[in-house]
Structure 1
Amino acid sequence: MALNSTIYKVELQISDMDRHYYATHALTLARHPSETEERLMVRLLAFALYADERLEFGKGISDEDEPALWRKAYTEEIELWIDVGQPDETRIRKACGRARQVVVINYGGNTAEIWWNKVGSALGRHRNLTVLDIPTDTVAEMVELLQRGMRLQCLIQDGQLQVMNDAQAVAVDPVKRMSAAEAVS
């Protein structure tokens, strides 16, 4: 018998001072049985960082041809491709060829460091690639916010995030390993 995905409902209120983007999103996140709570919360962080009316979750873990999140133009051109974790170099290269901007949000402590040491130098040639690291302790704090029904507020200013619910707040300070040569908004 196959396991079903776990569904999470999220009301995410975003105040992004850096991009002057203010909106509330009603999100439904499906957590695949093989997906960890950490990865789910990093996907939610990715949504908060790059929130847009057309940003949507891809099939991700269950479909290798789709990212964790993406934003398409009305012409179906992929404007933004976001992967989380440590995708292999081939996947990143393909994404950079298909999308105007590619973002990898890396997390996982030592595993993330090993991944970067392995692929970092090869990724330097991709001018439309940004790689961000989320510290392990921050991801653990984000998991503490996880509930099947969540109401979260996210304040973004100077590249830093503050994610809050009624009981606690988590400060998120992504570390840029690599920044795209051109910023696409």
Structure 2
Amino acid sequence: MALKSTIFKVELQVADMDRHHYADHQLTVAQHPSENDERMMVRVLAYALFAEEGLAFGRGLSTDDEPDLWQRDLTGAIERWIDVGQPDEKLVRKACHRARQVVLLTYGRVAGVWWAQNKGALERLPQLRVLHVPGPAVEQMAALVQRSMRLQCTVQDGLVWLGDGQRSVEIPLETWKAGA
């Protein structure tokens, strides 16, 4: 019998002063049985960083033909494709052919090795943006996990904070590739 996803309810308040986006978002986040809390919270962070109308979670780990998050325009064309982790370089190229903008949020100890191995090929993709979330911040974000969460994300001058009202995590995002 296959294991089922664990469902998390997230009330996410976003105050992104860099993009002038201020909104409350009600999210239902399905955590795949093979997904850890760190990866799930990086997906929530990705939602907060790129939140706007039409952004939705994909099927994620269960398929290679959908990203972790994506945004489509009214015609169904993919405006933004967002993946978390260290995907295969071929999948990144395929995503760049399908979407106007592709964003990768890498995290974890092996992300630097992955970037060193794939940087040459990925640098040639103009619409690709690669951001890295350092390990200590990811661990602190995972400590915020509860089945029902009320989170606040503040972005100002490139700095990011994520908190639950009692604890706050400063997230020093690193830009590994800026994109177009």
Q: What TM-score, normalized by structure 1, do the two folds share? A: 0.96
State how far apart, in whole Å, the 2-side matches of 1:151 and 1:72 are: 27
Instruction: Name the structure 2 match of 1:35.
Output: 35
State how far apart, in whole Å, the 2-side matches of 1:101 and 1:179 are: 11
Identity %: 53
Return structure 1 stretches of 4+ with deviation > 3 angstroms: none
State how far apart, in whole Å, the 1-side matches of 2:76 and 2:165 are: 38
Q: Secondary structure at the match of 1:139?
A: helix
Instruction: Name the structure 1 match of 2:7.
Output: 7
Give per-residue Cα distances to partners, 1:114-134, cap 9 Å, x unaligned. Answer: 100110111111000000000
Instruction: Name the structure 1 match of 2:139.
Output: 140
TM-fit CA distance, 1:158: 1.2
State how far apart, in whole Å, the 2-side matches of 1:27 and 1:137 are: 25
Instruction: Name the structure 1 match of 2:26.
Output: 26
Instruction: Name the structure 1 match of 2:85.
Output: 85
State how far apart, in whole Å, the 2-side matches of 1:113 and 1:155 are: 26
Q: What is the identity, as a one-letter code, of the residue corresponding to 1:5?
A: S
State how far apart, in whole Å, the 2-side matches of 1:25 and 1:55 are: 11
TM-fit CA distance, 1:2: 1.3
State how far apart, in whole Å, the 1-side matches of 2:105 and 2:153 are: 18
State how far apart, in whole Å, the 1-side matches of 2:40 and 2:6 are: 11
Q: What TM-score, normalized by structure 2, do the two folds share? A: 0.98
Q: What is the identity, as a one-letter code, of the residue corresponding to 1:51?
A: A
Which residues in structure 2 correspond to 1:1-185 (within 5 Å)?
A: 1-109=1-109, 111-181=110-180
Q: What is the identity, as a one-letter code, of the residue corresponding to 1:21?
A: H
Q: Secondary structure at the match of 2:79?
A: strand
State how far apart, in whole Å, the 2-side matches of 1:40 and 1:164 are: 15
State how far apart, in whole Å, the 2-side matches of 1:135 and 1:93 are: 24
Q: What is the identity, as a one-letter code, of the residue corresponding to 2:167?
A: Q
Q: What is the identity, as a one-letter code, of the residue corresponding to 2:87?
A: P
**Structure 2 regions of 5+ residues with no counterpart?**
none
Q: Secondary structure at the match of 1:83?
A: strand
Corresponding residue pairs, total: 180
State how far apart, in whole Å, the 2-side matches of 1:139 and 1:162 are: 12
**Structure 1 regions of 5+ residues with no counterpart?**
none
TM-fit CA distance, 1:159: 1.5
Q: What is the identity, as a one-letter code, of the residue corresponding to 1:42?
A: V
TM-fit CA distance, 1:30: 0.3
